[in-house]
Amino acid sequence: MKLNKNLAISESGFAFNGSTGDSFLLNETATFIISKIKSNLSREEILDALIKEFDVNPITAEKDLIDFLNQLRTFDLLED
């Protein structure tokens, strides 16, 4: 997975897509997932990291991860 190269993300969780002008506010979980995508982790590795970091059951974590990745795709922010 690769993030759209035009996506700029600040430490505050503010994300700006420089090719479309869209901006987004990321919550803590979203910021965490984005940082892992940036570190070139696979989906399975991100899922493991999520479970460890947020002490959440695997089913909820996987559902949330899939939802968020789909949102990124909808906004053209993820290149598979």
Partner 1 sequence: MKVAVTGLNNTDNPGPGVPVIRSILNHPDFSGEIIGLHYDNLEPGIYMDGIKSRSYMIPYPSQGPESLLERLRYIHSKENIDVIIPTLDSELYNFIHISDELAVLGIKTFLPTTDNLEKRSKDKLFEFCEENEIDSPKTFVINSLTQVNEILKEINYPIVVKGIFYEAYICYTFDEVSTNFYKIASKWGLPIIIQEYLVGDEVNVAAVGDGEGNTIGAVAMRKLFITDKGKGWAGVTIGDDKLIDLTHKVINALKWRSGLELEILKSKKDGKYYLLEINSRLPAWVYLTQAAGQNLPYYILQLALGEKVEPVREYEIGKMFIRCSIDLISDMKTYEKLSVYGEL
Q: Residue 16 forms beta bridges with which residues? A: 8, 23
Taking CB under 8 A as the rule, does residue 19 contact partner 1?
yes
Q: Which amino acid does the sequence have at 74?
A: T
Taking CB under 8 A as the rule, does residue 8 contact partner 1?
yes
Smallest separation (angstroms) from partner 1 to the CB of 75: 11
Taking CB under 8 A as the rule, does residue 20 contact partner 1?
yes
Among 2, 6, 53, 79, binds partner 1 (CB under 8 A): 6
Residues of 37-72 as b/e, b for ≥16 C-beta within 10 angstroms? beeebeeeebbebbbeeeeeeeeebbebbeebbeeb
**How many angstroms from the chain centroid is the CA of residue 4?**
11
> With CB under 8 A as the contact rule, which of the stretches 16-24, 29-37, 50-58, 61-69 interacts with partner 1?
16-24
Q: Return residues touching partner 1 (CB under 8 A).
A: 6, 8, 16, 18-21, 76
